[in-house]
Amino acid sequence: MEAAISPLPDDVEALKALVAAMARKADEAEAKLANAMAHQSAIEALIAHLKLQIAKLKREQYGPSAERSRRLLDQMELQLEELEADAAEDDLIAEGAAAKTATVTALERKRPTRKPFPGHLPRERVVVPAPCSCPACGGDRLSKLGEDVTETLEVISRSWKVIQTVREKFSCRDCEKIAQAPAPFHVVPRGWAGPSFLAMLLFEKYGEHQPLNRQAERFAREGVPLSLSTLADQVGAAAHALMPIYKLIETHVLAANRIHGDDTTVPVMAKGKTDTARLWVYVRDDRPFAGTDPPAALFHYSRDRRGEHPQAHLAAWSGILQADAYSGGYNDLYRGDRAPGPVMEAGCFAHARRKFFELADVLSSARKKSRGQRSSMIYPIALEAVQRLDALFDIERGINGKSPAERLAVRQELSAPLMAELHTWLTAQVAKLSRGHDLTKACFYMLKRWDAFTRFLDDGRICLTNNAAERALRCIPLGRKAWLFCGSDRGGQRAAIIYTLIQTAKLGDVDPQAWLADVLARIADHPATRLDELLPWNWTPHRNAIAA
């Protein structure tokens, strides 16, 4: 049976009306579809936002050094960025489609609440001209009731300027001698770079990981061509000028009774290849036990990883060293007959936990299995070890920031029994496993250094992990991706100096670039006996400093 088809009207006006009705229905369908897509995008963005918040809360709960957590957070933030952009684009499409209809209302997506713009930003008032007469009746007797202000964040492109310092010459009519004011100070003798420019150059290279060749290309696009060798000359001179500040930070770090130590690789140019050099860091951070001394980070460079380097760095120091188990580098420091005194080793539970975690990574194994890949074996012993260590971390999170006495009392009451049980349990597991098994190696990592791992039970200043040093070293792997290698050993030493300054400023919540600009402007005329006033934790911006 054939379907009945309604005949089209023969009247032209009726046809026009039918076409108009069909167009309206099409517009409504398009608007509804656009609304649905916008709604779906908004839901996806909200889900991604909530997942990110959950992940951040888990990171706070389980510690900042949780395996892969930083990388996963970066990936989730990137995903959220794209989904928010998609949702905003779909909103505009839905709004445009709804505007064509009279029956469909555009979706109003609930957006995250934006914080007010910072109060220190300058405000420029742009007043819309008031009407001369009433738009309703045409009367000219208008009285102001108030005003509505809409704030729009804007950025002004970086501006360059040349400061001309004029030094007039005068001749004495009596003695015929010529008098003139002294030339302004430059970091480079007879130099040309101002302190703000130098601070930007240093911070971009070492703080934002932008090599000088990329900076030179950007400067040229902005109409200021500067050669690579010219910029490198300024970097070397600035590092030399800042050496006294570096020495003061070194003295401050090595005055601590407890420091964190770690090292990481840094490629350095050699003949036709690159060698693997090292950057060492020593961090003083007393905040976990309510210490009042400011935190600071000290970097050193070496061409290799021989133990003589940390021994030279800490030759005049004794105290508690929190570091990983690098026997070739630190063992000589732990000798009882060492002068000026032995260094007490404090083990890092994060390193110990990581060895078990890699053998109990349930999530990684599940992901590999879902992709059809061969998953590694999950060991129940490793899983139990992680849970036992996590119980200790839970206790530490509750006492972080308290005084050494308070921390020690809680540890003696809660952590000491757990450590005794852990030692008994590890010893029992070693007896069951073959000597070459990965689990045996993970157990022996703690058992062979048990004194170092239990030292936190007798001293409330000791932290459970060496995360303070690992956080300070994060700038190096980020930089390696951008500049690939150091050009020379001298370049590595300069990097250690500037990394010390930048990371110390960051630890004190000081803007590194603004601080460097002010220090470079003042250090030549500042009395040597009062250089400590320029350290980040004592720094007060100079009123006459040129804004960065």
231 neighbors 201 (Cβ within 8 angstroms) = yes
Q: What is the pLDDT of residue 56?
A: 65
| Cα–Cα nearest to 496, from 525, 476, 516 | 476
Residue 326 burial (CB count, 10 A): 14
Q: Give whole-number Cα distances, 181 to 167, 168, 258, 378, 494, in Å.
A: 6, 7, 50, 76, 34
Residue 296 CB-density burial (10 A; 0-12 exposed, 13-18 middle, 19+ buried): buried
Q: What is the pLDDT of residue 111?
A: 57
DSSP secondary structure letter of residue 374: P
Q: Which residues contact 20 (CB under 8 A, 6 or more apart)?
A: none
Q: What is the pLDDT of residue 203?
A: 94
Packing angle, helices 438-447 and 380-399, rounded to 10: 30
Per-residue pLDDT of 161-189, as tens digits, reads 888 888 888 888 888 888 888 877 777 66
- Compute and round to an integer the Cα radius of gyration of the chain: 33
Q: What is the pLDDT of residue 545?
A: 45
Residues of the chain with pLDDT under 50: 1, 3, 64-67, 544-548
| Cα–Cα nearest to 346, from 358, 359, 333 | 333
Q: What is the pLDDT of residue 1?
A: 45
409 neighbors 329 (Cβ within 8 angstroms) = no
Bridge partners, residue 320, by sequence? 258, 344
CA–CA distance, 400 with 289 (Å, rounded to integer) = 7
| Cα–Cα nearest to 256, from 531, 399, 462 | 462
DSSP secondary structure letter of residue 206: I
The angle subtended at Cα 261 by Cα 425 and Cα 356, nearest 5°, is 25
Q: What is the pLDDT of residue 546?
A: 41
Can you tell me whether residue 344 is helix, strand or coil?
strand
Q: What is the pLDDT of residue 67?
A: 45
Beta-strand runs (E) in 242-392: 258-270, 273-284, 296-302, 320-322, 344-346
